Structure 1
Amino acid sequence: MQLTITQPGTDELAATVEWSVKPRNRIPAVLSLRGDTLVFCVPAVEGRFVCVRTPDGEGLRGQWSQPGSRAPLALHLSPGLATPAAAQDKAAPASATTYHTEPVTLTSPAGNVRLAGILSVPDGRGPFPGALLLSDMGSHDRDARQGNYRLFAELAAFLASHGIAVLQLDDRGVGESTGNGSATTTADLVHDAQAGLSYLRVQPTVDPARTGLIGHGEGGNVALLAAAQPAPPGFVVTLAAAGVTGFDLLAHQAEPATPADTAQAGAARRQRWADVLDQVVKLRAKGSNAAQVETYVAQQRLKIKSEERKQAEATLEFRRTMLEIVRQTTNDDQAQAIVLNMLRQRHPGLDPTLARQRATQLTMPWCRYYLTFDPRPGLARVQCPVLLLHGTDDADVSVATNLPALEKGLRANKRVTAHRLPGINHWFQAAAAERGAEKEGAVTASPLVLSTITDWILLEAGR
């Protein structure tokens, strides 16, 4: 095989593929670059080469795949082979794979719960790689719907249109699934993941050796737990999985606030800076020079940051105390009464109904179990390929504390890839400035996230 890459324009790359058994039969290919990964799509033969450069920079190494077959492929750099005719060839426009959906019903052995969902399968001969999507903490439908945003619906559509079958399931007690979501623990979710994985592996259109788990938040930890047990998945992709204990993760998350609290905090912050600016005007009127004004502003900025840091520390201490009370008080009624009193004292304007709901949530079986959960002990047993993705703008699962802990726990696994994604939040959306002015219902996942997951699966799954 010969790949010829040319540059028809300043910001344009084109590629062609030629096989020695059919000389002078150059086929257009679509070339794209995803970080350090090169992806060549050859629509004419339904082929795809996902690769990276060799360490010496003199070759490409990766996986070649076509419907029904796949194989490792290594190419070596051969300068000067391109002919003038090859340089004139243009890459064909990318053509997405079509796919169809099928309704799914399966049974999870933990409580004999029926789980319902949808299977998206690429059109073609297959068998295709497969992935089960696992949602974050809380009860979610198969699309992981949050208002107008549907992370799993977008992810499933993108994966299926690029040759990967995807299974989405309603969580227990949501949509068409039975069971009680409020009584579900992380251990139950592992059983559900294993049931979904088993279902995927027996589908004739899915390759059982290339079937894995993609989990968001707690779903990522569920995927890693399943990978540490017998019959592990072929691969795991985690989106903001926790690397610290459940107690520490919940303690560092922001306490739910009312719109009035948020508005009051914002108004106070704006007033502080308004006072600073007023003082700047007075200093200038009294004859202060630019250096003196800059020094004053810098001092005030440090003072405000110090105050905000103290407030954050106080909030952390409050949450740790509240969660420790829940952990130590086994009687739900007693724990709820104490938590309710603490919330009322700290948030006097909090709606009584919301306060009771919060106290009830903290004493549910899931929360009690999660407060004792530690994701680290089982990581050493995970041997399948793992992709760890964390956004730098994630306010719920800090990349600074959680990703290093996961990498440390997985250090014995030589097939772990970790990415810190700049400007990406917990729901794997780009920063608002990058997304632009979005219309109602047009909230979307980051294209970088979707392509990174897809290309990694096609490159690593089943190696």
Structure 2
Amino acid sequence: MPVAFTVQQPAADKLAATLDLPARRMSRLPVSVTLKGDSVIFFAAKASCRYACVRAASGQELRGTWAQPGLRVPLVLRRVVVQPSGTAAAVVAATTYHIEAVKLTSPAGNVELAGTLSIPDGPGPFPAAVLLSDMGPQDRDARQGTCRLFADIASNLARQGIAVLRLDDRGVGQSGGDNRLATTADLVRDAQAALSFLRVRPSIDPARTGFIGHGEGGNVALLAAAQPLPPSFVVGLAAAGVSGLELLAAQAEPATAADTARAGAARRQALADVAAKAKELRASGSNSAQIDTYVAQQTLKLRSAERKQAEATLKFRRAMFEIVRQTANREQAQAIVTNMLRQRYPAQEAALTRSRVEDLTTPWARYYLTFDPQAALAKVQCPVLLLNGTDDAEVNAATNLTALEKGLKANKRVMVRRLPGVQHWFQTPAAELLPNADGSVDPVVSAAMLDAVRDWVLQQSLQ
């Protein structure tokens, strides 16, 4: 498997390095570099690998040991001097960066928002981006389990000369306010406040400052771009192109672990029944063609039943959301929705039903169900990059990217990309990751997404 470390020296006492593993489609992973006498130790946390080595007398080779979970092998790397390619990515050399804890006030309710600003080392001024989170309460790192989408984006961009501001959502971490009470319109004002905060800093170039939004954050970025004092650019990661009601209706019904287990057990039992019947047919003298026909027919019946169930769920969710959208009185809406959920899911725990009803009737939810992303797209004139994973189960790439492209057709500076095998949280497909000793894999943010965002933002900085 090819291994490549790219090492640069941005200052006399600093080394910056990245790791490329082309066979795993992992590139420019951040690497720490430690010097101990004649030894050099590279450590890439995202790939869970370590390379301890010494430099050969010629200075043209590194000789040492590569270690990762379940593997420890000797490795020799030869020095190659990379010539600048002239691309946007090569214009800004990899560098080190520092972080600052920041606070700003949003005019929407005078809410104080806290976050982290990652700034490249050097004089600047630097291009910059504000990260805008997806729906629901998110911290500044956009944590999902052990994966930290926003922290990785910030680190990757800051190492390439792009400053990044990421904030705790309202009511999360060190930020004030209440996420459940904030509507999408409030979030637009939060985003504008963050952009203004960056543009007055001496180390930031106000003419090269934009938004990178994930999910709803991508729509917030596009809404802000349609208003006066727009951002210099917008990157939408899985932004919605259809209405809020349609987007939410198309998502899967929330299910407990017990519900998922029961559904899985029922499907496995149905398949086992088909296999058992096929065995009986074989024992009774049926030929292979007859057995294959039977199995194919039963498989089609199972798929048809699953499709009908999905269609019924979609119809139910649309009806439920329409009740919330059209019923002005919140208590009345809650009563109707509670009754709908009890009738459809009679075995559901009362506490879970109450929690769902509360979530469905928050000010944010009631506003989002009336949200139409198409309304403002014609006014967006800044450069826009739209990325979506083909395995995104929450924001369908084909449906939403097509709708966004249609709404932005008057803007000649729009780029659209679909990332194969990538899901909603832009994680690298498990099949492309280095496995742990037990065969499991740790989630890693997609290098393809990071590269696409970085290169595109740097290209905008050159124009």
Quickly name the TM-score band, shorter chain normalised: 0.7 to 0.9
Partner letter of residue 269 of structure 1? Answer: R
Q: CA deviation at 1:296?
A: 2.1
Give 2:180's aligned residue: 182
Q: For the Cα contact (< 8 Å) 2:89–2:454, is it kept in 1?
A: no
Q: Which blocks of at least 5 consecutive residues in structure 1 are unaligned? A: 1-9, 16-29, 34-38, 52-61, 68-95
Q: For the Cα contact (< 8 Å) 1:210–1:462, is it kept in 2?
A: no
Taking the aligned partners of 1:293 and 1:271, their CA distance within structure 2 comes to: 19
Given the two structures, how large is their TM-score scaled by the length of structure 2?
Answer: 0.79
Change (3 A) 1:47 1:367: farther
Deviates more, 1:121-130 or 1:134-143: 121-130
Partner letter of residue 309 of structure 1? Answer: R
Q: For the Cα contact (< 8 Å) 1:135–1:216, is it kept in 2?
A: yes
Taking the aligned partners of 1:50 and 1:331, their CA distance within structure 2 comes to: 60
- Correspondent of 1:215 among 208, 213, 216: 213
- Correspondent of 2:370 among 369, 372, 376: 372
Q: For the Cα contact (< 8 Å) 1:142–1:171, is it kept in 2?
A: yes
Q: Alpha-carbon deviations, 1:27-50, whole Å to 9, x = none?
A: xxx9999xxxxx9xxxx9999656
Q: For the Cα contact (< 8 Å) 1:209–1:462, is it kept in 2?
A: no
**Following superposition of structure 1 onto structure 2, how do residues 17-416 of structure 1 map, counting pairs within 5 Å?**
51=87, 65-66=91-92, 96-416=94-414
Partner letter of residue 304 of structure 2? Answer: S
Taking the aligned partners of 2:272 and 2:3, their CA distance within structure 1 comes to: 49
Q: Alpha-carbon deviations, 1:158-180, whole Å to 9, x = none?
A: 11112211001111111111112
Taking the aligned partners of 2:356 and 2:269, their CA distance within structure 1 comes to: 31
Secondary structure of the residue aligned to 1:117 is strand
Q: Alignment RMSD, CA only?
A: 2.9
Taking the aligned partners of 1:127 and 1:344, their CA distance within structure 2 comes to: 58
Q: CA deviation at 1:311?
A: 0.2
Taking the aligned partners of 2:176 and 2:101, their CA distance within structure 1 comes to: 16
Give 1:458's aligned residue: 458
Q: CA deviation at 1:460?
A: 2.6
Q: Alpha-carbon deviations, 1:57-104, whole Å to 9, x = none?
A: xxxxx687358xxxxxxxxxxxxxxxxxxxxxxxxxxxx421100111
Secondary structure of the residue aligned to 1:100 is strand
Q: For the Cα contact (< 8 Å) 1:234–1:461, is it kept in 2?
A: no
Partner letter of residue 256 of structure 1? Answer: P
Q: Which blocks of at least 5 consecutive residues in structure 2 are unaligned? A: 7-18, 23-27, 29-79
Give me the identity figure in percent: 64
Give 2:448's aligned residue: 448
Partner letter of residue 278 of structure 1? Answer: A
Q: For the Cα contact (< 8 Å) 1:47–1:64, is it kept in 2?
A: no
Q: Alpha-carbon deviations, 1:224-269, whole Å to 9, x = none?
A: 0111111111111111100000011111111111111111100011
Q: Alpha-carbon deviations, 1:299-323, whole Å to 9, x = none?
A: 2221111111100000001101111
Taking the aligned partners of 2:318 and 2:84, their CA distance within structure 1 comes to: 50
Partner letter of residue 199 of structure 2? Answer: R
Secondary structure of the residue aligned to 1:130 is strand
Partner letter of residue 448 of structure 1? Answer: A
Taking the aligned partners of 1:348 and 1:462, their CA distance within structure 2 comes to: 60
Taking the aligned partners of 1:418 and 1:128, their CA distance within structure 2 comes to: 25
Partner letter of residue 164 of structure 1? Answer: I
Q: For the Cα contact (< 8 Å) 1:46–1:66, is it kept in 2?
A: no
Taking the aligned partners of 2:89 and 2:431, their CA distance within structure 1 comes to: 36
Taking the aligned partners of 2:243 and 2:411, their CA distance within structure 1 comes to: 21
Taking the aligned partners of 1:377 and 1:119, their CA distance within structure 2 comes to: 32
Q: For the Cα contact (< 8 Å) 1:428–1:449, is it kept in 2?
A: yes
- Correspondent of 1:428 among 417, 423, 426: 426
Secondary structure of the residue aligned to 1:262 is helix
Give 2:74's aligned residue: none
Q: Alpha-carbon deviations, 1:9-39, whole Å to 9, x = none?
A: x9899x9xxxxxxxxxxxxxx9999xxxxx9
Q: How many residues end up aligned between the 2 structures?
A: 394
Q: For the Cα contact (< 8 Å) 1:50–1:458, is it kept in 2?
A: no
Given the two structures, how large is their TM-score scaled by the length of structure 1?
Answer: 0.79
Partner letter of residue 174 of structure 1? Answer: V
Q: For the Cα contact (< 8 Å) 1:227–1:236, is it kept in 2?
A: yes
Q: CA deviation at 1:379?
A: 0.8
Q: For the Cα contact (< 8 Å) 2:210–2:233, is it kept in 1?
A: yes
Q: CA deviation at 1:441?
A: 10
Taking the aligned partners of 1:166 and 1:46, their CA distance within structure 2 comes to: 27
Q: CA deviation at 1:149?
A: 2.2
Change (3 A) 1:122 1:46: farther
Partner letter of residue 244 of structure 1? Answer: V
Deviates more, 1:132-141 or 1:199-208: 199-208
